[in-house]
Structure 1
Amino acid sequence: MEKLEEQIAHLTRTVEDLSDVVARQDQEIALLTRRVALLLEREASREAEGTGGVVLGDERPPHY
């Protein structure tokens, strides 16, 4: 009986630890989702303004 109580205590602790990990991951995913949405909005506004060009390292600027 003691062994079962020990295993239950261990499993309870493991479940609580995993629950904490999942909660932290949920917060991080929500933060990253907001950041990606902001970046997408920013990029969309740059494209609308026409200033979103990407210059490659070996590409000459347009004034040459």
Structure 2
Amino acid sequence: MSGALPEALEARLVELETRLAFQERALAELSDALAAARLENARQAELLRRALEELKAGGSPFYADPSEEPPPPHY
């Protein structure tokens, strides 16, 4: 009987070590994903900042300056 207890403890230890290894790998993958998301967020923030600067500077071809438009025909 004394031989069964250490085998059970060894099996439990192996199970815990296996779980720990999977958790460490998952943590590393999550860390990599978070780093990539932060880089993407910084890139998107820079694109948004540039787009807002262009809109403020009037560089957008989508909106014409009302002072440059001819008056409507009913005037």
Q: Indicate the TM-score class for this superposition, using the shorter chain for normalisation.
A: 0.7 to 0.9
Alignment of 1:43 onto 2:55: yes
Shift of 1:33: 0.1
Instruction: With the length of structure 2 as denominator, give the TM-score of the two structures.
Output: 0.64
Structure 2: gaps of 5 or more residues? 1-12
Shift of 1:52: 5.3
Give the greater-gyration-radius structure (CA).
Answer: 2
Instruction: With the length of structure 1 as denominator, give the TM-score of the two structures.
Output: 0.74
Where does structure 1 differ by over 3 angstroms across 4 or more consecutive aligned residues? none
Secondary structure at 1:53's aligned position in 2? Answer: coil
Cα deviation, 1:36-63, whole Å, max 9, x if unaligned, reads: 000000000007xxx6516xxxxxxx66
Distance 1:20 1:33 in 2: 20
Count of residue pairs the alignment pairs up: 54
Distance 1:41 1:24 in 2: 26
Alignment of 1:20 onto 2:7: no
Identity of aligned residues (%): 22
**Corresponding residue for 1:58?**
none
Structure 1: gaps of 5 or more residues? 55-61
User: Which structure exhibits the higher relative contact order, with contacts defined as CA atoms closer than 8 Å and separated by 6 or more residues?
Assistant: 1
Which amino acid is the alignment partner of residue 9 of structure 1?
Answer: A
Which amino acid is the alignment partner of residue 53 of structure 1?
Answer: Y
Distance 1:25 1:33 in 2: 12
